[in-house]
Structure 1
Amino acid sequence: MQTRESEYIITMFGDFSIEHGGSKLEKSSRRTQQVWNLLEFLIANRKGSTSSENLIEFLWPNGSSDNPANALKNLVYRLRTILSDTFRDEERQFIIYRRNSYALNSELVCSVDSELIETYWNSAERETTDREERKRLMLKITELYNGVFLPKSTREEWVTPLRSYYHRIYIQSAIKAAQMLMEDKNYQGSLQVLEKAASIDVYEERIHELLIRALAASGDHTAALEHYYFITRKIYDDLGVKVSAGLTKMYNEIAKSVNHVEADLSVIEEGLRNAAQYNGAFCCDYEVFKNIYCMQSRLIARSGQSIFLVLLTVSDSKGAVPAVAQLSCAMEKLMTAAVETLRKSDVISRFSPTQYILMLSYLNHENCQTVLKRLFERFKKYYKNPSIRVLATHCPVVPVS
């Protein structure tokens, strides 16, 4: 009878490792990538064998080896040595060669997380599977999936379709499991599933919509609204797009549900006062920015004071949009510099993926230039990449009579 101790526990999600008998083999930069490529490929295809020709084509595409047949034999020898040394088993043949094909030894008792996930998913999707069993299986999938499939092998073409396949299974399992838990009014269990899924795939709106619903259903309306603010800004800042109409509609429903009658004005004033406790410029979404603009343009029509609009645009040295990683970092540092440099009466908002719009109160043209000079100096202190430029244009706010 096989025991748990005799199994080889193979992890393919979030990282790659093999555990057996107290020993663990992990992906290491000390060994060449080809060794890991061969091992991962044989495990992923362990239900069958792969011909030498196919392995050569996979490992050395476009004839990148002078003597591929010999190179394959040497690579297999190195891999066998690593496995036998790691698991202290010189007698066992980990990799079998038969009829010009290689395969992982079928006598090895292996528990592979990717195989388990596929088995659980197929069982859960059967029409004969009852609800409780389906929920249990999908929860098992969410437990096993701890990140994308073979994350350190992103350049391998054979990995890409499998990564998409398993990720789709995980997201669907997380959504269905969370929905069933919410139907059972197990909101904490649903939140655990959804929070993990949101950390793995931060841009999957279906996960965030369910997470916000679960927070609201659990009674934590404040956290639900805060998560909506977080994900709308995250998606817009990183991708330059707005969240779906469905997510916005759900937000409006939750926002309405938290309204209540308050008879004590001092309680309302205290809540407003606490919300106003911030340092530096006021940051807000562009819709809020437009409302503030409307109010200020009416105010200065009577006061006669001046307010300036400033548009900050980030570009590379050629005036083009920077690479995603550079742009994200530059925009973050520019926001920090602006908040720290500007006054509490000033307002800043993200206008586009490469632009911020500012509203600077009670300044003239010369003072506006001075403020922008200080802002640029602070930005250069925080972000020292000479290939990134920030262009500023400004104009006065026109009073509305």
Structure 2
Amino acid sequence: MYQTLGVKPSKSMLKLYEMIKKESHDEDLDIMEIQQELSRDEAYGAFLCEYGTFREIYIMQSRMMGRLGICSQLCLVTILDHSQIKDQYAQKAIERMMTKVQDALLSGLRIGDVVCRLNVNQFVVLLPACHNDDAKGVMSRVLRKIKYSLNHTTLTIDFMVGEIMPK
């Protein structure tokens, strides 16, 4: 929805998407078959997902924090300079730029980190098992990578870091 139409889906659309994602099997499976099916994805960089999936991962992470007592951080990355641009060609350029930002986030973060495109100019990032100071260092490093991938353009990129509260 974000990439194609540039809109955030409604709650009813997200519920429908969640229903579609649900899978069931017609036959009994053993543990090895389940593990093989679940591990088909090759892990590289951070995990990119839609907002509904991100929300569920966030909830699970906050529950794990309460159980295990580990810290995790939520980061918000905002691209500030292009909010007034309405031109069609500029919009395409912005989308190409946001794709580069997304690629830099995915390759610059760890395998267990989670990235979600929140809206036209923001990404939200989940950094599991990470303290606040470490998260700020990670995000500073990733922002340098983003600026490098954008050929050192003069964009203003802001990030905020906050600890996830356990459930």
TM-score, normalised to structure 2's length? Answer: 0.83
**Whole-angstrom CA distance in 2 between matches of 1:309 and 1:243:** 22
Contact kept in structure 2, 1:307 and 1:361, CA below 8 Å = yes
More relative contact order, 1 or 2 (CA 8 Å, 6+ apart): 2
Alignment of 1:33-52 (within 5 A): none
Q: Say if 2:52 is the partner of 1:296.
A: no
Contact kept in structure 1, 2:73 and 2:127, CA below 8 Å = yes
Which of 264, 273, 281 lines up with 2:39 in the alignment? 273
Change (3 A) 1:269 1:370: same
> What letter matches 1:383 in structure 2?
L
RMSD: 2.7
Q: What secondary structure does 2:162 align onto?
A: strand
**Whole-angstrom CA distance in 1 between matches of 2:21 and 2:7:** 22
Alignment of 1:1-400 (within 5 A): 235-241=1-7, 252=19, 259-275=25-41, 277-316=42-81, 320-322=83-85, 323-384=90-151, 386-400=153-167
> What letter matches 1:360 in structure 2?
L
Deviation at 1:364, TM superposition (A): 1.7
Change (3 A) 1:274 1:250: closer
**Whole-angstrom CA distance in 2 between matches of 1:254 and 1:280:** 23
**Whole-angstrom CA distance in 1 between matches of 2:51 and 2:57:** 10
**Whole-angstrom CA distance in 1 between matches of 2:159 and 2:138:** 11
Contact kept in structure 1, 2:104 and 2:146, CA below 8 Å = yes
Contact kept in structure 1, 2:65 and 2:71, CA below 8 Å = yes
**Whole-angstrom CA distance in 2 between matches of 1:393 and 1:347:** 16
Change (3 A) 1:335 1:312: same
Structure 1 or 2: more helix by fraction: 1
**Whole-angstrom CA distance in 2 between matches of 1:250 and 1:293:** 18
**Whole-angstrom CA distance in 2 between matches of 1:260 and 1:251:** 20
> What letter matches 2:144 in structure 1?
E
**Whole-angstrom CA distance in 2 between matches of 1:359 and 1:325:** 27
1:170 matched residue in structure 2: none
Unaligned runs of 5+ in 2: none
Q: What secondary structure does 1:309 align onto?
A: strand
Deviation at 1:386, TM superposition (A): 2.5
Q: What secondary structure does 2:80 align onto?
A: strand
Contact kept in structure 2, 1:310 and 1:394, CA below 8 Å = yes
- In the TM superposition, structure 1's runs of 4+ consecutive aligned residues that sit over 4 Å from their partners are 242-246, 248-256
Unaligned runs of 5+ in 1: 1-234
**Whole-angstrom CA distance in 2 between matches of 1:308 and 1:330:** 25
Deviation at 1:384, TM superposition (A): 2.1
Q: What secondary structure does 1:367 align onto?
A: helix
Contact kept in structure 2, 1:315 and 1:321, CA below 8 Å = no
Contact kept in structure 1, 2:8 and 2:119, CA below 8 Å = no
Count of residues in Structure 1 that have an aligned counterpart in Structure 2: 161
Change (3 A) 1:342 1:260: same
Q: What secondary structure does 1:381 align onto?
A: helix
**Whole-angstrom CA distance in 2 between matches of 1:327 and 1:303:** 41
**Whole-angstrom CA distance in 1 between matches of 2:138 and 2:105:** 10
> What letter matches 1:268 in structure 2?
I
1:91 matched residue in structure 2: none
Change (3 A) 1:363 1:254: closer
Change (3 A) 1:329 1:389: farther
